[in-house]
Structures are given as C-alpha cells and as structure tokens.
C-alpha cells in the first residue's frame, strides 16, 4: 500500500518512547499553565521575564494584516520603526524582519550561499549543538558544512586552519537552547577576525534576559566589534513572535535580492511589529525583572545542589537535568505532573541519543515557594 512507511515510523517512535504529542493549552502565563482543566506550575515557558502576562498599551491601533510580501506592499512604517530601533540600539547598518526565528536562521544561510560558484569556495563552521534551524540552513545551502565540538575553540581553530575556503562563516548561539550554557563570544570574535571569517550569532534565548539593558549576549561588544550577522528572536523574553536579522546595509541589500523566505512570505503584521517594539522598549528598563530572574536561577541552583540533583553547568534561565533514557525522562515528567508541575521531556532527535533530559526554564514570575516546590518533587522524580 502507498505510504505504509508512515505507520511504520509512528510505531517505531512509540516503541522508542519518542512519539511527540500536542497538548491543548487552555491558559498559560510565565508561572502557570492550564491543560485539561488542571492548572500546573509552568517550568517549560520561554517567557523569561514574565512579560507575556502584561498587556501592551498603545495609543493608536494598527492593522492586523500587512496584506502582502514586504517587497510588494507589505513593508509598512511599523516594521521599519522596529528594524530601525534595533539597528540604533546595536549600531548595525540595516535589519529585516521575519515571521519566525526558524525562517530567519535557515533562510539567511541559504540565501548567503545561493550562488553555486561562490559557494564552492565557501564553508560554514557550526557548533555541534546549534539549533535545528541553523543546521537546516547550512545543509540546504551550496556551501560545505563543517561541525566543531560544542564551545571548543581549539577544535574550531583547527577546522579554520585546515580550510581552504575563501568565504568562511562561523555560526553559534548566544545561549544554547537545550544546555543553557553560553557561547565564548570574545574568543569567537577573535577567531573570526584572525581567519578573515564572518560570525553569525543566534541570540534567541539571550535577548531580553542577558545584558545590562537586556540587549542580550552581544551587548558588551556594542562599543567594540559585533558579529557580522545577529539574529534577534521575539518569541522568548520579548513574549511576542517573529525575528529580526541585523547586519551591514550591503548584507541586508543582498538578502533582499536572494532571500526566498522573505520575498515569498507575507510580511510581519504591523500590529505585531508595533507591539513588539513597545515591549522591547519596556525590556530596556526591566532591571527588576532581570534581577528577579537571576535571583530565581541562583536559588534553584543552590537548592538543586543541596539535594544532590545533577543539573548541567548553566547560569541562564535554562537548567537541564540529563537522565539519558527517553522512557525514564517521560516517566519523570509524568511524576512531576502528578505533583502539579509542568515540565517538558526533551528527547531525540532534539538532543543526542542517550541525553534525554528534563529542561527546566525559570522566569521572573516564579516565586521562591514555586522553586522550592519544584526541587522537592524533582528529588523523587529523578531518583
């Protein structure tokens, strides 16, 4: 029969405890989530500052739809204002908005190496733990893909020294989404300069939560040297959706010519652009929320250590506990749900084989009592 492989693959996923399912969420905040009429403490949200619980108040209303592609009639003043604000904050020459971070990451890489002749003399150097969108973009480009060990600058240096490519692009995340650790940006910038390479950083999980004013992993480098390409995602600490790619004016002009996702997608909603800009301006002064988030991270790490819970080395809101076995991880997540705690069991192919984990995400909305309750029941769940 045609397409018998579908049922075969679904059965295999089920047997390996890897079958993915969706849950209808009736209500969610950064602190709680309601599913099937039951409310849980939510430790799976990316709304790190808790802004998703707050309304954005604008003096005027904007159209919900942009009506067309940005290269037809969809590029409106609200989108331009959001791009310009981010350019001004970082010092980049230009930016362009996308409806998702995945689209931004993958399409930029594909478009940059769309010329087959140039791509034959190009190489993309990716951290092995980079997000799927970055890996997919490289795999579907015409350039060679070279992987280096996670945050291993000696390995990256060796790869760069051996490469004969004329056009080298190094790609990393600012904060790694499944491990919670941060990239060594200073060393990455130095290696890029030394080897005449470009550096691209996806700061989805850093923007808003890190930096003195919430500008993320790269804020400390604004007065020095920034990555050649910076991707800012709005679906995490900004509690919105979409993304912005920042770079030189020449680079963005090139993207406008050759980025198929941008050319053939309806542009970001003007309403979404306006709300996102207002939220980012709020984030700039949200020192109290960042302080609370950092205090919650410190409290969780302290309590986990005192209860001998093996948490990965991370100082960000992402605090993973690797259990290894996918079935065991699912069982642990179910035990926690019985105690009113919602946690996601992260399994392959999202993470490597035998590294299934509970991915705990902390927010500024959590209370000390919430975190104490979490750690208390983690002890029994991961035993």
Name the residues annotated as catalytic.
46, 131, 173, 177, 202, 205, 236
Beta-sheet pairing, 198-202 with 229-233 = parallel
How buried is residue 37: exposed, middle or buried, by Cβ count under 10 Å (0-12/13-18/19+)?
Answer: exposed
Q: Is the peptide bond before 93 cis (omega within 30 degrees of 0)?
A: no
DSSP string covering 155-182, please? HHHHHHHH---SEEEEEEESB-TTT--B
To 10 degrees, the CA torsion angle through 13, 14, 16, 17?
110
- Cβ atoms 182, 217 nearer than 8 A: yes
- Cβ atoms 320, 359 nearer than 8 A: yes
280/239 Cα distance (integer angstroms): 10
Residue entry with tokens 């079935």? 327
Q: Which run of H or of E encompasses 4?
A: helix 4-15
Q: Tokens in use for 312? A: 């990965």
């Amino acid at each position: 029969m045609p397409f018998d492989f579908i049922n075969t693959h679904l059965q295999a996923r089920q047997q390996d405890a890897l079958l993915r399912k969706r849950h209808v969420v009736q209500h969610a905040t950064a602190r709680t989530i309601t599913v099937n009429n039951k409310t849980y403490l939510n430790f799976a949200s990316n709304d790190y500052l808790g802004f998703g619980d707050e309304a954005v108040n604008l003096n005027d209303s904007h159209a919900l739809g942009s009506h067309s592609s940005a290269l037809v009639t969809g590029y409106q003043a609200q989108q331009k204002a959001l791009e310009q604000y981010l350019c001004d904050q970082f010092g980049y020459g230009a930016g362009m908005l996308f409806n998702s971070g995945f689209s931004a990451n993958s399409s930029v890489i594909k478009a940059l190496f769309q010329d087959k002749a140039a791509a034959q003399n190009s190489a993309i150097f990716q951290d092995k733990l980079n997000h799927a969108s970055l890996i997919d973009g490289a795999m579907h480009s015409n350039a060679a893909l070279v992987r280096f060990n996670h945050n291993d600058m000696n390995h990256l240096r060796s790869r760069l020294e051996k490469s004969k490519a004329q056009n080298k692009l190094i790609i990393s995340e600012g904060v790694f989404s499944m491990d919670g650790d941060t990239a060594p940006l200073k060393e990455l910038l130095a290696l890029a300069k030394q080897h005449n390479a470009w550096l691209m950083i996806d700061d989805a999980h850093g923007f808003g939560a890190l930096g003195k004013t919430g500008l993320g992993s790269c804020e400390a480098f604004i007065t020095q040297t920034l990555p050649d390409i910076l991707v800012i995602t709005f679906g995490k600490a900004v509690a919105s959706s979409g993304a912005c790619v920042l770079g030189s004016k020449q680079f963005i002009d090139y993207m406008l010519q050759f980025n198929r996702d941008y050319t053939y997608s309806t542009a970001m909603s003007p309403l979404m652009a306006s709300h996102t800009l207002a939220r980012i301006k709020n984030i700039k002064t949200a020192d109290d929320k960042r302080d609370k988030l950092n205090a919650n991270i410190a409290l969780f790490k302290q309590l986990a250590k005192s209860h001998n819970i093996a948490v990965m080395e991370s100082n960000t809101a992402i605090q993973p506990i690797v259990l290894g076995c996918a079935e065991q991880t699912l069982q642990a997540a179910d035990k926690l749900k019985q105690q009113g705690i919602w946690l996601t069991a992260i399994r392959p192919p999202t993470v490597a084989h035998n590294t299934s984990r509970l991915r705990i995400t902390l927010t500024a909305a959590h209370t000390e009592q919430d975190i104490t309750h979490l750690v208390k029941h983690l002890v029994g769940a991961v035993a």
